[in-house]
C-alpha cells in the first residue's frame, strides 16, 4: 500500500466530511425565493392568488404558507417548455382581465367566491388553452402542497425510514 496515496485520500475524505453539513442541510421555503424566475412580479402575484384560491389558508396550513407558489414558479421554469410557459403567462393575463371586466377589481382583490367563479369559468371553458391552464395549475398546486415537507411530516405523518430499530434486544428462546 502506498502511504502517500492513502494520506491524500484520507485528506480528501476529511475535506468532504467538513463540507457535508454545508450542502446537506434541509431546504426551506426561503431557498426557493432565491430562484430567478421568468415570471414578472405581476405574474408571480397572480400565481400566488391562484394558489391561494385553490388551497386557501385553513385552520392549520394553506398553499401559500408552505410555499406552493414559489414551487410552481420553479417547476414551470425548469420542467415545462416555452410553449407551456407562454400559455400560463397568457392565461394569467386573461384571468386578470376577466376579473377586472366582471368585478371591476384585480383578481387578487376579489373575494374567495369570486376568484373561484373565475377559475371555474376557465375549467369549463370551450377554449382548450384555458382548460389546459386550469388543469395544469390545479394539478401541480395539489402536488406541490401534498409533497411539501411540512404537510408530509406534520399532517400525513410520513417517515423516511418507517419502523424502529431495536439494536440490543434479548432474545428469549
Instruction: Let me know: does 43 contact 102? Beta carbons within 8 Å.
Output: no
pTM: 0.72
Between CA 49 and CA 60 the distance in angstroms is 18
> What is the C-alpha end-to-end distance of the chain, expressed in Å?
46
- Cβ atoms of residues 62 and 52 within 8 Å: yes
Rg (CA), the chain: 23
Q: Please, what's the b/e burial string for 105-138 (b: 16 or more CB within 10 A of its CB; e: otherwise)?
A: eebbebeeebbeebbeebeebeeeebebbbebbb
pLDDT tens for the chain, residues 1 to 173: 677 777 677 776 666 655 555 444 444 555 555 567 788 999 999 999 999 999 998 878 899 999 999 999 999 999 999 999 999 999 999 999 999 999 999 999 999 999 999 999 999 999 999 999 999 999 999 999 988 888 888 888 887 777 777 778 888 86
Amino acid at each position: 500500500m502506498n502511504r502517500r496515496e492513502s494520506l491524500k485520500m484520507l485528506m480528501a475524505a476529511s475535506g468532504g466530511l467538513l463540507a457535508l453539513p454545508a450542502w446537506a442541510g434541509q431546504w426551506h421555503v426561503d431557498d426557493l425565493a432565491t430562484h430567478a424566475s421568468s415570471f414578472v412580479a405581476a405574474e408571480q402575484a397572480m400565481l400566488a392568488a391562484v394558489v391561494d384560491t385553490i388551497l386557501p389558508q385553513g385552520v392549520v396550513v394553506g398553499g401559500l404558507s408552505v410555499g406552493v407558489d414559489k414551487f410552481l414558479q420553479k417547476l414551470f421554469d425548469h420542467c415545462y417548455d416555452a410553449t407551456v410557459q407562454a400559455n400560463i403567462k397568457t392565461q394569467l393575463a386573461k384571468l386578470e382581465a376577466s376579473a377586472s371586466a366582471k368585478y371591476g377589481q384585480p383578481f387578487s382583490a376579489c373575494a374567495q367566491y369570486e376568484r373561484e367563479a373565475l377559475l371555474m369559468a376557465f375549467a369549463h371553458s370551450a377554449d382548450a388553452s384555458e382548460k389546459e391552464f386550469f388543469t395544469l395549475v390545479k394539478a401541480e398546486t395539489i402536488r406541490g402542497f401534498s409533497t411539501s415537507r411540512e404537510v408530509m411530516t406534520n399532517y400525513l405523518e410520513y417517515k423516511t425510514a418507517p419502523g424502529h430499530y431495536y439494536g440490543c434486544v434479548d432474545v428469549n428462546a
